[in-house]
Amino acid sequence: MRQSLAFILMISLAGLQFLAILIVVFTTFVTSERAMLKHALGLMSQAGNNATEHTRLFLKPAQDLAKQATGMLTSGIIDANDHDALEQLLFQQVLSEPQVAGVYYGDEAGNFVYLMRSDGPGPVRTKIISHEDGGRSTEFVWRNTAFELVSEAIDPSDRFDPRKRPWYQSAASAKQPVWTDPYVFFSSRRPGITAAVPVILSDGTLQGVVGVDIELDAISQFLSELTISAGSTALILNENGEVIAHPASDQIVVQNEDKTIRFVGINEINDPVANAAFGKLAQSGPLAITGEVRSELEHDKESYLTLLAPIKGHDLPWTIAIHAPENDFVQGIKDNRRRNIWIAAIISLVTAIAGLMLAEVILRPVRAFAVRTSLVSQGEVSADTPLPKTYQELKRANETLIHEISQRRESEKRQRDLSRQLFHFSRVDMMGQLATGLAHELSQPITAITQNVDAAISTAAKMKDINPELMQILSELDDQAHRGGDIIAALRGLVRKDEGQFVAFEFEDLLDQSLKIVQHEADINSVQLVKSNVTQHQVLANRVQIAQVLINLMHNAIEAMTMAKTQSREILISARPQNSFLEVWVEDSGPGVAPDQPLFRHFETSKTDGMGFGLSISKTIIEANGGHLWYDHESRNTSRFCFTLPLLSTGLES
């Protein structure tokens, strides 16, 4: 009981605690994870907008510069054929914005004035291709930031023709400002984009095209600085699914076999997450995103958030793509969850120990109660003894239990009385039947013997010269015949309980009768029956029953001495008044009752053919006659059974 209750308490407390904390941890985790992911997608969307805005601000000046130059050329403020003036205008423009890599003007005649930032002898290099008098010259000039000449050179081998370049052709055919597709610049070999604006005269003829170059590395640089999370990457794709800007800017161009240079496709770039997230989009035709597309991706056992958004406002069919590991946003709360589970486990352990201690405290009175109950049931503690300080519930349970126990003991006592009665009656009944049969069989021949002996005596008395020895024999025969009759009568009286009434009688007379019955058994076993110190005392009892007890005790004594082969065999019967009782002792010189021999209990016998009924029946009889029967354990070298009988009141006795 102790273990199971303690265990249940411990497990219940710890289990409930653990469950409760887990529920809190997991619900908190799920809600905060959802909130974090939502927040993360918001961050990504914001980053997408940033990138779009940045790109727009980055590209706008290029178009503005191209339009400004075109305006000056069409209005005649600058003469397109005045290469010096043109160079001065473009010089100012190329230095005006840091992202501008080069500014140029090419015309229908193939003339070309091109200013670009340079790593050469001066920070700005001018390339001028002129066609004069049917000849062509290509001249290079390097200037410092104050437009002072630093160095100059000519290149007779130059074959560059502006009219064949993509920027010129797209602006010329569109007849309006355009953005070229990203391409690799002729001079710097870097990927870039050109804002090209056609110079159209008032009569509608095309005079030339102004172009402003922007190198895309700068956008890549910006993207690499755009921090959304530790592991996030943002890139820009064109409508062909080619990567035109990526934090790893050196990876976005590759050389074809024919030495030409091209952008890598989204499937080719060394960015496995981008390949997995956006690769399929590029395979299904031109990439055309009209609005923001958010999604999630499982890659290499990790979860990623992805976002695609169009770059609006520039007629550029570009798309910004962002991917970021989910853990960048939720790792913190995952760590927190793990920490919380540990805390839950520790708290549960502490709770379990507390539960165990609590169970101990709760069970202590319960155990005390159980011990007390068992002591009460064994009769070692009275049920009335106040219950030790304990719980109210236990007190009530105790009262109920005590009630049950006392009822059970009462009914057990009633187990026992009934059973004793039954044994008694069965034995008495059996002996009664035997004795009745015997008495019936013997009474007739004994009566015949008595009558014949009486007749023989009276006949002999009338004879003369009767031999006195014969008369003596006849007289003894008469005595014995009468004694036999008495025995038969006593036997019949002895065994028929219902026949016996409580009567006053001389104890010694009854003892003499009983001695007669056992005398024969005593003789053949060489036992001497000695009556000692028995004076006349009147007792009030059932005669035959008391005789039965005396015979039982003497019979037991004869058997004990015979079995133990005792040398001197003697049974001493004495009787003395004690207060209002006569106390009778039946002592023998036998071995005494073995210390481990239970007495006065049915079936407890040391004899192979014994039944263990004699003493218990005797005790029942004596008690039914108002006395007690016991074995005197104090007696040394003898076994002494004692019983008492109520004396007839002294008034009567006197």
Element (H, E) at 602: none
Nearest distance from C-beta of residue 600 to ligand ADP, angstroms: 7
Nearest distance from C-beta of residue 614 to ligand ADP, angstroms: 2
Nearest distance from C-beta of residue 7 to ligand ADP, angstroms: 51
- Nearest one of 602, 597, 639, 627 to 617, comparing CA atoms: 602
The string over 180-191, giving b where at least 16 C-beta atoms fall within 10 Å of a residue's C-beta and e elsewhere, is bbbbbbeebebb
Nearest distance from C-beta of residue 563 to ligand ADP, angstroms: 9
Nearest distance from C-beta of residue 606 to ligand ADP, angstroms: 3
Q: Is 243 exposed, middle or buried (0-12, 13-18, 19+ CB in 10 A)?
A: buried
Nearest distance from C-beta of residue 554 to ligand ADP, angstroms: 9
Contact 584, 507 (CB under 8 A): yes
The C-alpha atoms of residue 606 and residue 595 are separated, in whole angstroms, by 12
Paired residues of 299 in beta bridges = 302
CA angle 614, 541, 632 (to 5 degrees): 45
Torsional sign, CA 58, 60, 64, 70: positive
Contact 582, 645 (CB under 8 A): yes
Nearest distance from C-beta of residue 492 to ligand ADP, angstroms: 23
The C-alpha atoms of residue 613 and residue 549 are separated, in whole angstroms, by 12
Closest residue by beta carbon to ligand ADP: 614
Longest C-alpha distance within the chain, in Å? 218
Closest to ligand ADP by CB, 447 vs 562, is 562
Closest to ligand ADP by CB, 97 vs 570, is 570
**Conformational region of residue 87, where left means phi above 0, alpha means psi within -120 to 50, and beta covers everything else:** alpha
3-state SS string over 183-237? EECCCCCCEEEEEEEEEECCCCCEEEEEEEEEECHHHHHHHHHCCCCCCCEEEEE
Nearest distance from C-beta of residue 572 to ligand ADP, angstroms: 12
Q: Is 250 exposed, middle or buried (0-12, 13-18, 19+ CB in 10 A)?
A: exposed
Contacts (Cβ under 8 Å, ≥6 apart) of 556: 614, 615, 641
The C-alpha atoms of residue 65 and residue 242 are separated, in whole angstroms, by 27
Closest to ligand ADP by CB, 232 vs 639, is 639
Residues that bind ligand ADP (CB under 6 A): 556-557, 560, 588, 590, 592-593, 597, 599, 605-607, 610-616, 639
- Nearest one of 327, 233, 241 to 283, comparing CA atoms: 241
Closest to ligand ADP by CB, 317 vs 612, is 612
Closest to ligand ADP by CB, 263 vs 585, is 585
Nearest distance from C-beta of residue 652 to ligand ADP, angstroms: 34
Question: In the numeric block, which tokens belong to residue 485?
Answer: 């009759």
Closest to ligand ADP by CB, 14 vs 560, is 560
Closest to ligand ADP by CB, 519 vs 605, is 605
CA angle 30, 35, 38 (to 5 degrees): 125
- Nearest one of 554, 562, 558, 543 to 621, comparing CA atoms: 543
The C-alpha atoms of residue 420 and residue 600 are separated, in whole angstroms, by 11
Closest to ligand ADP by CB, 118 vs 616, is 616
Nearest distance from C-beta of residue 624 to ligand ADP, angstroms: 17
Closest to ligand ADP by CB, 437 vs 598, is 598
Closest to ligand ADP by CB, 376 vs 560, is 560
The C-alpha atoms of residue 387 and residue 368 are separated, in whole angstroms, by 10
Nearest distance from C-beta of residue 582 to ligand ADP, angstroms: 21
Nearest distance from C-beta of residue 439 to ligand ADP, angstroms: 24
Nearest distance from C-beta of residue 616 to ligand ADP, angstroms: 6
Q: What are phi and psi of 439, to 5 degrees?
A: -60, -40
Closest to ligand ADP by CB, 485 vs 612, is 612
Closest to ligand ADP by CB, 123 vs 612, is 612
Nearest distance from C-beta of residue 571 to ligand ADP, angstroms: 9
Closest to ligand ADP by CB, 49 vs 605, is 605
Paired residues of 584 in beta bridges = 575, 643
Closest to ligand ADP by CB, 58 vs 423, is 423
The C-alpha atoms of residue 106 and residue 160 are separated, in whole angstroms, by 11
- Nearest one of 592, 579, 590 to 628, comparing CA atoms: 579
